[in-house]
Structure 1
Amino acid sequence: MKPLKRSFFERPTLKVAPELLGKTILLRQSRQKHKAGIIVEVEAYTKDDPACHAARGKTTRNEVMFGPGGFSYVYFIYGMYHCLNFVTEKKEIPGAVLIRALEIPNEDPGIASGPGKLCKYLKITKEHNATDCCNEDSMLIVTDNKSPGHFIIIQSARVGISKAAEYPWRWYIKDSCSVSKK
């Protein structure tokens, strides 16, 4: 499976976010073993967004957001959950898309229905932060589905945040049973 090209990610965050729906995240655990899931829910965060980790400037925690698009941004929240994002925009323009839910074929629909749950299922940790997801040899990549099918995309306000929660920067696949909140 070939990863998405960097040019896919190095575009405006609000364009990349809905276009990630239906794509597959693949985490390689070894040469023969991997886990994968179809992206069914995302949220966008941009440099001027008060809820964005980069809104107040570059820090050690968020510095990957200021690099080129196509890298992973993984952080730890509430002392118990990891969250997976993909960096968007060109270098020095911070932006990222939070992956909120995955649909895992032949698994319980709720197994990856939320940012923390999907990281737990894939075993994503801080070790995966700043992974170049556009490199074919990376342990973490995003790929196009060969036949993703047709689906209806719903756009709504973001969930689970206090700042700028009203921004309609959340997208999900309407008929997916794995969406965290409809």
Structure 2
Amino acid sequence: MGLVEQEELTSIVLPAAFFARPAERVAPELVGCLLVRQRGDGSRLWGVIVETEAYCQSEPACHGYRRRSASNATLFGPPGRFYVYLTYGVHHCVNVVTGRPEWANGVLLRAAELPGEPERRAAGPGLLARRFGIDRGHDGAAVEALRGLWLAPRPPALALAADDLMQTERIGISQGRELPWRWYLRRSRAVSRRAAGDRPPPRLHLS
């Protein structure tokens, strides 16, 4: 893939201050960043985040819109933690808590592209969680290397031009669809669903 020439780049962890901002600001900046999982054998599984969505307590699509509960408590916690929930009783979805404590705010990681693997292996939130082995056991875990699951900054090789990032309405929800809070990397074929009229690239060429 040519995105990360040195393994050291996956060791860098995004600072807590990065997440202490509104979800709609963090979400587009997470596109191109790396999701990294430390495996039991010492190796690292990593992928480029190519699609994100923002959610906020002020709008009805957010899990914390109506009230705080045992299942969504992490979303009200400090920023820089993973919020993992089960959808339809089958698929796990991975979010990162953003904003400030006591205000539900987060970014859903919708899709990732992994080097050397089929381009659509993690082209959707459920597929992403499955490939990285993320489940409810990771809910509330801090985004840090000590926990074995973290987010690394966007590699210099993946600097984005103005037209690389597509902003659209969110998908897979019934309320709040008018908010243009989904972003994806147009250069990637691992996006879960492209906007109408936006044709995928003819071949993989993220680098």
TM-score by length of 2: 0.84
Match in the other structure for 1:28: 38
SS of the residue corresponding to residue 137 of structure 2 reads: helix
Q: State which drifts further: 6-15 or 144-153.
A: 144-153
CA distance in 2 between partners of 1:82 and 1:162 (Å): 19
- For the pair 1:108 / 2:118, whether they are aligned, the reply is yes
State the superposition RMSD in angstroms: 1.1
Aligned match of 1:128: 138
Structure 1 residue identity aligned to 2:22 = P
User: Is the 2:33–2:155 Cα contact (8 Å) retained in structure 1?
Assistant: no
Give yes or no for the alignment of 1:157 onto 2:166.
Answer: no
Unpaired stretches in structure 1, ≥5 consecutive residues: none
Deviation at 1:150, TM superposition (A): 3.0
- What is the aligned-residue identity percentage? 38
Question: Any idea what SS the aligned residue of 2:156 has?
Answer: coil
- CA shift, 1:93, in A, is 1.7
Q: Deviations over 1:49-101 (max 9, x none)?
A: 10000001210011011111000000001121000000001111210100000
* Structure number with larger C-alpha Rg: 2
Name stretches of at least 5 consecutive residues in structure 2 with no aligned partner: 1-10, 195-207
1:147 paired residue number: 156
**Partner in structure 2 of residue 55 of structure 1:** 65
Letter matched to residue 137 of structure 1: L
Q: Please say if residues 22 and 148 of structure 1, whose CA atoms lie closer than 8 Å, have aligned partners that are also in contact.
A: no
Q: Which residue of 1 aligns with 2:186?
A: 174
- Distance, in Å, in 2 between the alignment partners of 1:16 and 1:94 is 14
Residue aligned with 1:137, SS: helix
TM-score normalised according to structure 1 size:
0.96
Show the counterpart of 1:78. Answer: 88
Could you list the per-position Cα deviations for residues 84-132 of structure 1 after superposition, in whole angstroms to 9, with x for gaps in the alignment?
0000011112101000000111111110000001111111111111110
Count of residue correspondences: 181
Q: Which amino acid aligns with 2:139?
A: N
Residue type at the aligned position of 2:154: N
